[in-house]
């Protein structure tokens, strides 16, 4: 693993230098206060954010004479994007005015002093009333202030290839009731269709937060356990559900029901999954998000006209079929204003333009997002935009959210380490869980841990 770590550090250094150069001359360290810098992720097949930012740049500059918008697309995988954004925010000279922020990092970045509260601006913005209460809460800090405007949310479920299922003699439509039924279908695919990857469950450090959320937490929250107990305000370790979730990962990779371990650990695997494996009928089941179809629509990075006919969707069942029968996880991204922005009103004006009804509608359709503006959610263009929309929206009834506390990123990292130890055979699930417990205690303090 040392060579991989060295390569990662070298890559991050390159990203740091290139983005620092890109940001120099922005409002953070430039005497020209008429420049706004906007940092966001541009990676793999997910091109919708880049399209939106370029569109809004043109609209903003046309409406604000004398202003220049400097886009800083960070071409990096998820974990590397978070790292790069943190490095940029540590200096006023490179900190962006507007940034693309994952909701689970909001409180972490507030604590670090990277984000500016938006309450004064939101109170004067008529559109704010269009956002749902749940979406507003997603960008709320522990201090009760709002630090971002939501772009959309998501849910997660099982995508499956109906053609491959039919060839393997599996039922279509498919609706597994338990984890065992999911694994049984994967075993049938392996036996009947050599050369097809039976199932993808993101796992390990390479997959980053996708491993924690799309992989592990989609399992854990289908047991009787969770990551965090809100009543006691403690992180839960050494629980039966945690161990059972690691055993599921052990089964997937130990029985070779998933991709090759070295492929699954590649940070670019998600891109390959969307651009090659799924469209080319090389994978039968994918535990993934509602946004997936955004890759395959006409304006996506990998247009695939047949996707809606070939792919089916099934809710992820709870472990033993216990109530409510299925489970999901939800997250989402926001646009935030950086604490170092010299003209925060101008920065907020960019955010409000980017997320007005017209732009939110276009983005939510293109990116396969569940709308968080009420006027977008009711718009016929949105309602008729995607055949999977109703399915994924209905999963909101059984969804869960990550415990978005400042400690969560360290807990998430410990989850990824535990998963990778199991999938590579370096540790048993019991050993990996014990190590996870020790790492969480070290990260958050023994007084904040139960178990």
Tokens of 428: 């048993």
List 68's β-bridge partners, or say none. 35
Cα–Cα distance for residue pair 408/194, rounded to 1 Å: 40
Beta strands 283-289 and 197-200, pairing class: parallel
Decide: helix, strand or coil at residue 172.
coil
What pLDDT is attached to residue 33?
58
Provide DSSP, 234-247: EEE-S-HHHHHHHH
Q: What angle do CA 379, 361, 394 make, to 5 degrees?
A: 65
List 373's β-bridge partners, or say none. 131
Q: List the end-to-end C-alpha distance of the chain, in Å, as a whole number.
A: 30
Cα–Cα distance for residue pair 59/376, rounded to 1 Å: 20
Instruction: Identify which of 164, 173, 158, 157 has the alpha carbon closest to the alpha carbon of residue 196.
Output: 164
Full strand arrangement of the beta sheet holding 68-74: 68-74, 35-41, 98-102, 333-337, 149-152
CATH 3.40.190.10 boundaries in the chain: 2-153+332-397, 156-330+405-450
What pLDDT is attached to residue 8?
38
Tokens of 382: 């949105």
What pLDDT is attached to residue 81?
93
Decide: helix, strand or coil at residue 198.
strand
What pLDDT is attached to residue 11?
45
- Whether the Cβ atoms of residue 332 and residue 372 lie closer than 8 Å to each other: yes
- Whether the Cβ atoms of residue 23 and residue 94 lie closer than 8 Å to each other: yes
With a CB cutoff of 8 Å and minimum separation 6, the contacts of 314 are 157, 158, 160, 173, 174, 175, 176
Cα–Cα distance for residue pair 297/201, rounded to 1 Å: 23
How many C-beta neighbours within 10 Å does residue 347 have?
26
Helices and strands of the chain, counted as H and E runs: 21, 15
Cα–Cα distance for residue pair 52/140, rounded to 1 Å: 24
- What class has domain 2-153+332-397? alpha beta
With a CB cutoff of 8 Å and minimum separation 6, the contacts of 444 are 235, 407, 410, 411
Q: State the DSSP H helix or E strand holding residue 6, giving kind and residue range, or none if neither.
A: helix 2-23
pLDDT means over runs of 10, the chain (451 residues): 37 43 43 83 85 98 97 91 95 97 94 97 98 92 96 97 98 98 98 98 96 98 97 97 98 98 96 96 98 92 96 98 98 96 98 98 95 96 96 96 94 98 98 98 96 89
Q: State the DSSP H helix or E strand holding residue 430, giving kind and residue range, or none if neither.
A: helix 429-444
Provide DSSP, 372-405: -BHHHHT-HHHHTS-TTHHHHHHGGGGEEE---S
Burial 65-77 (b: 16+ CB within 10 A, else e): eebbbbbbbbebb
Residue owning tokens 């939110």: 360
- Whether the Cβ atoms of residue 167 and residue 192 lie closer than 8 Å to each other: yes
What pLDDT is attached to residue 69?
98
Q: What angle do CA 330, 434, 245 make, to 5 degrees?
A: 40
Q: What CATH number matches the domain at 156-330+405-450, 1.10.10.10, 3.40.190.10, 3.40.50.170, 3.20.20.80?
A: 3.40.190.10
List 234's β-bridge partners, or say none. 229
């Amino acid at each position: 693993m040392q060579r991989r770590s060295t390569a990662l550090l070298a890559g991050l250094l390159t990203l740091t230098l290139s983005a620092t150069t890109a940001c120099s001359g922005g409002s953070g360290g430039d005497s020209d206060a008429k420049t706004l810098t906007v940092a966001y992720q541009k990676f793999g097949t997910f091109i919708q954010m880049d399209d939106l930012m370029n569109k809004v740049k043109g609209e903003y500059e046309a409406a604000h004479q004398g202003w220049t918008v400097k886009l800083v697309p960070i071409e990096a995988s998820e974990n590397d994007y978070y790292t790069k954004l943190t490095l940029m925010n540590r200096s006023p000279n490179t900190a962006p005015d507007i940034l693309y922020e994952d909701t689970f990092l909001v409180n972490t970045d507030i604590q670090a002093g990277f984000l500016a509260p938006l309450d004064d601006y939101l109170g004067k913005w008529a559109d704010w009333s269009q956002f749902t209460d749940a979406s507003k809460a997603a960008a709320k800090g522990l201090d009760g202030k709002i630090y971002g405007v939501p772009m959309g949310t998501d849910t997660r479920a099982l995508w499956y290839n109906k053609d491959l299922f039919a060839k393997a003699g599996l039922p279509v439509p498919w609706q597994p009731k338990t984890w065992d039924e999911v694994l049984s279908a994967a075993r049938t695919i392996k036996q009947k269709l050599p050369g097809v990857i039976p199932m993808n469950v993101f796992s390990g450090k390479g997959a980053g937060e996708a491993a924690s959320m799309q992989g592990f937490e989609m399992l854990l929250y289908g047991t009787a356990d969770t990551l965090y107990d809100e009543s006691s305000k403690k992180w839960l370790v050494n629980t039966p559900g945690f161990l059972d979730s690691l055993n599921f990962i052990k089964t997937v990779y130990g029985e070779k029901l998933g991709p090759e371990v070295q492929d699954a650990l590649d940070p670019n695997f998600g891109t390959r999954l969307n651009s090659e494996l799924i469209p080319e009928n090389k994978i039968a089941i994918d535990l993934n998000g509602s946004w997936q179809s955004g890759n395959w629509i006409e304006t996506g990075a990998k247009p695939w006209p047949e996707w809606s006919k070939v792919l089916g969707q099934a809710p992820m069942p709870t472990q033993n079929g216990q109530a409510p029968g299925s489970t999901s996880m939800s997250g989402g991204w926001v646009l935030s204003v950086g604490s170092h922005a010299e003209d925060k009103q101008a920065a907020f004006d960019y955010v409000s333009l980017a997320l007005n009804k017209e732009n939110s509608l276009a983005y939510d359709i293109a990116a396969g997002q569940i709308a968080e503006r009420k006027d977008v959610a009711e718009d016929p263009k949105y309602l008729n935009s995607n055949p999977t929309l109703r399915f994924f929206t209905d999963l909101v009834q059984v969804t869960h959210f990550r415990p978005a506390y400042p400690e969560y990123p360290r807990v998430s990292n410990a989850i990824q380490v535990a998963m990778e130890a199991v999938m590579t055979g370096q540790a048993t699930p019991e050993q990996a869980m014990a190590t996870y417990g020790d790492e969480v205690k070290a990260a958050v303090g023994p007084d904040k841990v139960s178990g």
